Homo-oligomer: A and B are copies of this chain.
Amino acid sequence: MARLPVYQRTLEELLRAGVTTVSSELLASAARVNAAKVRRDLSLLGSFGTRGAGYDTAFLIKQIDHRLGLDQVWPVVIAGVGNLGRALARSQGFAARNFDVVGLIDSDPHIVGLVVDGIRVRPPEDLPDIMAEAHPAIGVITVPAGAAQHVADLLVGAGVRSLLNFAPQVLDVAADVLIRYVDLSIELQILSFFEAQRQTASDEPAEPMPVLGSSGRTPRVG
């Protein structure tokens, strides 16, 4: 279930706050979801709750970690060491959740050779070596849009089974390769914002949120 990561985070916060036993009601309000949903979701992991009491916080975290595969180290290769690639390689979240960056790839000779968070950036030709050394199952694509498809082909050809794509386009990959798109330009967010605005707009004619205008700055690729 897609909500397990949210539960996991929430449980960790609760445990830090000293809550050793948690009810579906408490977890639900902390995670901002419905209590019945929590019980239904957790029942998929097995019957770990105690009727009349609730769930053991630490045990539940362990179970969710196991289900999400976070009790194992996952080797990851990042393709594209621009601003975003660098931010990801250095980010706390990656290492804290057992994702181990085993390779950094960039085609730019000025970037190849740089050391980011203890890892040397290598050229695309070295991908087979990286695969042989550490067998990363996950590839992260943080290259400019024009190179994304080529990089995806390269990664999949080298044996990566799962892709996380930050480039703003639908990629053409084999059906057995899992791919997730991360959209930093937040259209989705805006869409839901608009929807909500529309609903309230019928009552009070609210001030329109977007301000018309134009920025004269030239964007740079990250």
Contact = CB atoms under 8 A, between A and B. Distances in A.
Query: What's the interface size class on A, roughly?
Result: 35 or more
Contacts of A183: 5
Contacts of A69: 190-191, 193-194, 210
Number of copies: 2
A212 B73 CA distance: 5
A185 B97 contact: yes
Nearest to A207: B135
Interface in A67-83: 67-70, 72-75, 82-83
Interface string A152-184: 000000000110100011100000101011111
A220 B178 CA distance: 28
A96 B101 CA distance: 30
A31, A189, A210, A217 — which one has the most chain B CB atoms within 10 A of its CB? A210
Interface stretch (A34-42, A53-61, A84-92, A122-130): A84-92
A185 B32 CA distance: 21
A31 B162 CA distance: 19
A180 B169 contact: no
10 contacts: A6-B170, A13-B170, A72-B210, A73-B210, A82-B87, A86-B87, A95-B215, A117-B220, A164-B189, A180-B189
Interface of A: 1-2, 4-6, 8-10, 13, 30-32, 67-70, 72-75, 82-84, 86-88, 90-97, 99-101, 117-119, 134-135, 137-138, 144-145, 161-162, 164, 168-170, 176, 178, 180-194, 196, 209-215, 217, 219-222
